[in-house]
Structure formats: structure tokens, C-alpha cells
């Protein structure tokens, strides 16, 4: 180890305690991404316990010219939170910063440290009779800092918005190691440029989020879940419009799944019971939240589904009878990414489109893919209410997944992303850019937007030490 590197490690040890600077042993949990696509090598994994320690760590790294990769739960899907292979980057893990600092029920806010696991925040809000609505399948291990850094979406966006809409204030350690305390619980604050919104969604490239003041909502009196079998995606879009008309803000979830996605769940998790409904190419999971009563919600939901059956936009439907049944239905939906991972490496596309254009997009792109690669298997599911599909491509049955990825990923991405652009969509709806989509972003984002993004990066992190090479390509040396 070079003397300068040794000196940095020594400073980090003094700052956070030797037990929290990891350099040897098995660092897989921090060095490998959730999808197991990439394995990096960290100079060290540093686990500070306070904002002051984060600031000191950043200053020490800056002085030594060492790049920092902020990391929360390491559940991100675009290879943004793991170090590169150089062995020179410091992983700054926030997971020890997991305190809820305050709950203010009258202001409907909760202030949490960045390393708080999302589920812990949901539970803490619930203990106060309130709701923190952000919800995603990784909620048992992803962190608030990671949610904010990626502006995570999830299954409740339709009603409550992305993480950005759920955040009122931030505390950030800048790339220079200064602390910006922007933890206001204010709903109105027009005092200049919105720094909070700059850091949200910046994927660790502008600074380290150390805490946030989050927006809470009243806890609904009842939540009901239904499952419907549908003849087509066009029918799903029609059902969404009907549900929005009938339920208004009471419609809190609308998830779509194609047959193959559910078949994969049946194959890899046979213990999960699937509703015994008429066979159909698509299913949707609907959730309604009601501030009056369960009886009121059930009556509304049943009327809605009856109309859908009469109209022919649903073939068959069932409303969960109990909380346990509702959980089973959600569990089925949330098991799709896990079932896909069990099936093998796949090519993921986290896309968004105007809802109205989704049926045409899928009809055209499904056909193009089938023609380009006979036997290709499409796992198509997602948050239809937000126009967000996880349009994922799995190798044909019996074809080696790694070889498929190697040989076909570029061609498939070009085909799908060209179609997304032609239909007025986005190539990254909720997962972000990380390192996986840097090239695509550069190809497809407008030059003006890219120049503005580079100017922001240059202004906030002129030495390019915060998660370099993520979101934006590293400038040529
Ligand atoms: P990490 O993976 O550790 O980091 C993600 C990015 O944020 C990295 O660029 C990292 O450098 C940066 N970062 C992390 N913490 C900080 C911090 N404190 N300050 C600055 N930068 C930081 N995402 C969705 O949006 N919607 C979904 O429905 C969804 N479902 C998922 C389901 C599964 C099964 C899995 C595995 C993932 C899913 N994701 C989803 C993706 C992922 O869970 C989210 O992006 C999540 O917000 C990441 O949080 P994390 O704490 O794991 O962050
Ligand atoms: Zn999603």
C-alpha cells in the first residue's frame, strides 16, 4: 500500500473507529451489486455513525484525492452503489446512521437519518397513526438515503408521488466536506434555487445525503386489494381510467403483470398461491384506500369491478377478503423481480411512457423482439398507473443467460430504447442511471440538458470525487 493510502486509512480509522473501516476479509456485500452483474474492489468500506463523521471522512478523502461511493442498502438496480474495479474508491456506507430524529404529527413530518431502512420509517410513522407511503419490494433493506438519491418510485406513486414528492428537507455533506442543514419541514419556501431537488435523484454524484425531513400522510381507515384478469393491455388502460374516475384519490395502486411474469413466480416460488381466475394474458393488482370505512371501500371496489366485467375490460376479478389475502396478492407481485433473478440474468428496461401509448408501444415492440430473437421471453410488469413498465427480456428457454446478455444486450437495448423514444418515453423511469445507463443517457438526452447537468456537476464537485462515472461519463483526463 502506498504511504498516502496508508495515511488515509489511518485517518479514517481515527475518525470512525477501527472496527468501522473495513479493508480485509469478505467485502462482497459492499462490492457486488444486487443483480450480481458487477464485482468491484474497494479501497476501504467506511461506516460513519454521525453527520460530523461523514463530513470528516469526505474531507479526508478529498485531501487524499480518493473517490467516494455512497452506499445505503445496496439494492439499486443500475450499478451505482458499488466501487469500480480499481481498488481506489472508498465505499461510504450510511447504514449505521439509522436513527429517527423526530416525528412531528401536527406538521405531518418525520426526520430520519439516511441509513434508516425504509420499512423502519414506515413502521415508525404507523406508530404515530400516520402513513409514510413510499413502498417498494426492497423496503426491508433499502434506505431512505438511497431512496432519495435515486428518487425511488414504487407502488404508491399514483397517489402520493415519487420520493421527491415525499421530501421536505435534506441534510447533505457536500463534496468539500461541509454540512448543509436544509432540514426544514416547510411546505413553502421560495428562497432561491431548490438545492433539495438538486440532490434528490443525483445518485451520490453531488454530495452525501445524511438525513431528511419526510412528508407523512393520514393513515387510511381501510385498504383493499383486488386482482383482475384482463384480455389485453388496452383493457388495462381502460380499467385504469375507470378506476380513476370512480375512486379518485382513493386509487392508491395499479400494477400490471403479464402472464409470463406470473408463470416465473409459479415456477420459482410454487408455495405462493395465485388467484384461481380465468386464464388471461395480463393481470392487474388494484389497491383502494379509504378514509371512511372498510365497508365503504368494499362497496365502491365491488361496483367498480362489476362495471369492468360488464364493459369487458376485465375477464374475471376477486377482492381480497382479509389483510392476509391482500398481503398474499402483493407478495405475488413483489416476487416477480426475485423470480426473474432465479431464472437467470436478464436485460432490464425500466421505462416510462404516456399511459395512453403503452398498448401501442407493447404491441409494436413485442412483435419486433419476437422477430429479432425467436423464442425470446418477455417479463413485462410494473406500475401502469404511472406509465412505468419493467419491460425485461429473458433469454429463450434453454439458452445460456450470460452468453445471451453478452451477445444480445446492445441490440435489444437499441431496439427497445428506440421504440421508447419514438413513443415519447423515458429510458429510466425510477431506477436511475448508475453506471449501467451512462452511455444510453449520453446518446439519448438532449445536448442542452447534458451540458446543464455537467455544469452542475462541475460546480458542486469540481474534482469529480463523488461517485465518478455514474450518471455522467468521467471527463477525459
Ligand atoms: P443503494 O443501492 O445503496 O444506492 C443507490 C444509489 O444511491 C447509488 O448511486 C448510491 O451511490 C446512492 N446513495 C445511496 N445512499 C446515498 C446517500 N445517503 N447519499 C447520497 N447518495 C446515496 N426502485 C424503485 O424506484 N421502485 C421500485 O419499485 C423498486 N423495486 C425494487 C425491487 C427490488 C427487489 C430491488 C432489489 C430493488 C428495487 N428498486 C426499486 C431499486 C432500489 O431498491 C431503489 O433504487 C432504492 O431506492 C435504493 O436504495 P438503497 O438504500 O439500496 O441504495
Ligand atoms: Zn418498479
Identify the CATH number of the domain in which residue 383 sits: 3.30.70.2740
Same-domain pairing of 228 and 353:
no
Cα 267 to averaged position of ligand 2 atoms, centre (Å): 21
The range of the structural domain enclosing residue 350 comes to: 344-422
The mean of the pLDDT values for the chain is 96
CATH number of domain containing 313: 3.30.70.2190
The partner residues of 411 in beta bridges, in order of sequence, read: none
Residues 51 and 20 both lie in one domain: yes
3 pLDDT band, cuts 50/70/90, is: confident
Residue 179 lies in a domain: yes
Please report the pLDDT score of residue 351 as a whole number: 98
| pLDDT on residue 107 | 98
**pLDDT value at position 352?**
98
433-459: b or e for each residue (b if 16 or more CB lie within 10 Å)? Answer: bbbbbbeebeebeeeeeeeebeeebee
**Which pLDDT does position 475 carry in this prediction?**
82
Look at residue 1 and tell me whether its pLDDT is greater than 80.
no
How do residues 56-86 score in pLDDT, each as one tens digit?
999 999 999 999 999 999 999 999 999 999 9
Is 460 among the domain residues? Answer: no
229 and 146 together in one domain: no
The CA distance from 455 to 445, in Å, is: 15
Q: Are residues 75 and 137 in the same domain?
A: yes
* CATH number, domain containing residue 94: 3.30.465.10
- In ligand 1, the atom with minimum distance to the C-alpha of 35 is 36
Section 182-197 average pLDDT? 96
Which grid cell is 277? Answer: 381466475
Whether 196 is in a domain gets the answer yes
* One domain, residues 228 and 92: no
Q: Residue 253 pairs with which residues in a beta bridge?
A: 287
Whether ligand 1 lies within 6 angstroms of the CB of 430 is answered as yes
Long-range contacts formed by 238-242: CB under 8 A, 24+ apart: 238/311, 238/313, 239/284, 239/286, 239/308, 239/313, 239/314, 240/355, 240/384, 240/385, 242/304, 242/307, 242/308, 242/311, 242/313
CA distances to 59, 363, 365, 373 from 368, in Å:
51, 9, 5, 9
Final residue before a domain boundary, out of 377, 397, 422: 422
Q: How confident is the model at residue 477 (pLDDT cuts 50, 70, 90)?
A: low
Ligand 2 center to 18 CA (angstroms): 38
Question: Does the C-beta of 461 come closer than 6 Å to ligand 1?
Answer: no
Same domain, residue pair 200 and 246? no
Q: Mean pLDDT throughout 13-36?
A: 95
Residue minimizing CA distance to atom 49 of ligand 1 = 146
List, for residues 413-463, the tens digit of each pLDDT value. Answer: 999 999 999 999 999 999 999 999 999 999 999 999 999 999 999 999 999
Residue 363 CA to residue 234 CA, distance in Å, equals 10
Residue 108's pLDDT is 98
261 lies in the same domain as 214: no
Burial 196-209 (b: 16+ CB within 10 A, else e): beebbbbbbbbbbb
In 10 A of CB 292, how many CB atoms?
A: 12
The domain boundary, picked from 182, 197, 219, lies at 219
Can you tell me which atom of ligand 1 is nearest the CA of 430?
25
Instruction: Measure the CA–CA gap between 462 and 400, rounded to whole angstroms.
Output: 43
Is the domain of 12 the same as that of 147?
yes
| Residue found by looking up cell 441509513 in the block | 115
Q: How far apart are CA 396 and CA 378, in angstroms?
A: 9
Q: Provide the pairing of β-strand 42-46 with 89-93.
A: parallel
Flag whether 467 is in a domain.
Answer: no
Domain endpoint, select from 174, 200, 219: 219
DSSP state string for 20-68: GEE-SS--HHHHB-TTS--B--EEEEE--SSHHHHHHHHHHHHHHT--E
**146 occurs within a structural domain:** yes
Whether 168 lines ligand 1, by a CB cut-off of 6 Å, is: no
Specify if 324 maps to a domain: yes
Q: Tens of pLDDT along 410-424?
A: 999 999 999 999 999
Residue 364 lies in a domain: yes
Contact in structure between 75 and 146 (CB atoms under 8 Å): yes
pLDDT higher than threshold 90 for residue 225: yes
The verdict on 180 and 161 lying in the same domain is yes
Same domain, 200 and 76: yes
Rg of the chain (C-alpha set): 23
Mean pLDDT to the nearest integer, 129-156: 97
139 CA from centroid of ligand 1 (Å): 10
When divided into structural domains, the chain yields a total of 3
pLDDT (tens digit per residue) in 349-383: 999 999 999 999 999 999 999 999 999 999 999 99
pLDDT at 35 over 90: no
Do residues 210 and 108 share a domain?
yes
Same domain, 128 and 272: no
pLDDT at 4: 87
Mutating to test ligand 1, I would choose from 69, 76, 349 the residue with most ligand atoms within 8 A of its C-beta, which is 76
Residue written as grid cell 413530518: 109
Please report whether residue 442 resides in a domain.
no
Mean pLDDT of 110-121: 98
* 69 phi and psi angles, rounded to 5 deg: -115, 105
Q: What is the pLDDT of residue 359?
A: 97
Amino acid at each position: 500500500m502506498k504511504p498516502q493510502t496508508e495515511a488515509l486509512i489511518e485517518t479514517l480509522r481515527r475518525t470512525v473507529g477501527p472496527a468501522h473501516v473495513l479493508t480485509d476479509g469478505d467485502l462482497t456485500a459492499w462490492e457486488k451489486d444486487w443483480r450480481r452483474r458487477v464485482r468491484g474492489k474497494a479501497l476501504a468500506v467506511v461506516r460513519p455513525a454521525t453527520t460530523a463523521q461523514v463530513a470528516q471522512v469526505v474531507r479526508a478523502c478529498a485531501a487524499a484525492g480518493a473517490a467516494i461511493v455512497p452506499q445505503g442498502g445496496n439494492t439499486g438496480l443500475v450499478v451505482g452503489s458499488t466501487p469500480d474495479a480499481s481498488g481506489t474508491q472508498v465505499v461510504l456506507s450510511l447504514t449505521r446512521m439509522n436513527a429517527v430524529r423526530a416525528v412531528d404529527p401536527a406538521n405531518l413530518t418525520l426526520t430520519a437519518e439516511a441509513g434508516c431502512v425504509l420499512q423502519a420509517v414506515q413502521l415508525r410513522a404507523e406508530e404515530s397513526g400516520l402513513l409514510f407511503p413510499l413502498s417498494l419490494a426492497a423496503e426491508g433493506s433499502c434506505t431512505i438515503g438511497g431512496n432519495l438519491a435515486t428518487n425511488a418510485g414504487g407502488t404508491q406513486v399514483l397517489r402520493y408521488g415519487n420520493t421527491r414528492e415525499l421530501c421536505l428537507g435534506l441534510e447533505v455533506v457536500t463534496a468539500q466536506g461541509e454540512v448543509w442543514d436544509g432540514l426544514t419541514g416547510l411546505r413553502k419556501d421560495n428562497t432561491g434555487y431548490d438545492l433539495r431537488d438538486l440532490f434528490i435523484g443525483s445518485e451520490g454524484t453531488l454530495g452525501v445525503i445524511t438525513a431528511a425531513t419526510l412528508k407523512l400522510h393520514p393513515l387510511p381507515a381501510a385498504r383493499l386489494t383486488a386482482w383482475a384478469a384482463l384480455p389485453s393491455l388496452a383493457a388495462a388502460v381502460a380499467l385504469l381510467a375507470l378506476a380513476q374516475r370512480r375512486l379518485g384519490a382513493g386509487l392508491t395502486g395499479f400494477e400490471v403483470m403479464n402472464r409470463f411474469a406470473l408463470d416465473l413466480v409459479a415456477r420459482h416460488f410454487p408455495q405462493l398461491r395465485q388467484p384461481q381466475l380465468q386464464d388471461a394474458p395480463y393481470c392487474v393488482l388494484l389497491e383502494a384506500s379509504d378514509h371512511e370505512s372498510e365497508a365503504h371501500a368494499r362497496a365502491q371496489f365491488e361496483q367498480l369491478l362489476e362495471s369492468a366485467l360488464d364493459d369487458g375490460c376485465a375477464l374475471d376479478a376477486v377482492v381480497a377478503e382479509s389483510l392476509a389475502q391482500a398481503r398474499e396478492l402483493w407478495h405475488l407481485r413483489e416476487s416477480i423481480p426475485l423470480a426473474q433473478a432465479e431464472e437467470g440474468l436478464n436485460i432490464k428496461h425500466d421505462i416510462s411512457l404516456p399511459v395512453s401509448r403503452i398498448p401501442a408501444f407493447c404491441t409494436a415492440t413485442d412483435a419486433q423482439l419476437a422477430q429479432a430473437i425467436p423464442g425470446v421471453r418477455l417479463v413485462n410488469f410494473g406500475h401502469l398507473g404511472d406509465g412505468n413498465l419493467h419491460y425485461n427480456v429473458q433469454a429463450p428457454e434453454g439458452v445460456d443467460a450470460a452468453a445471451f446478455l453478452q451477445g444480445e444486450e446492445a441490440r435489444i437495448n437499441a431496439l427497445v430504447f428506440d421504440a421508447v423514444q419514438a413513443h415519447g418515453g423515458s429510458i429510466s423511469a425510477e431506477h436511475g442511471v448508475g453506471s449501467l445507463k451512462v452511455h444510453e443517457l449520453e446518446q439519448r438526452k438532449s445536448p442542452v440538458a447534458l451540458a446543464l447537468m455537467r455544469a452542475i456537476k462541475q460546480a458542486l464537485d469540481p474534482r469529480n470525487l463523488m461517485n465518478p462515472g455514474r450518471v455522467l461519463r468521467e471527463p477525459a483526463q
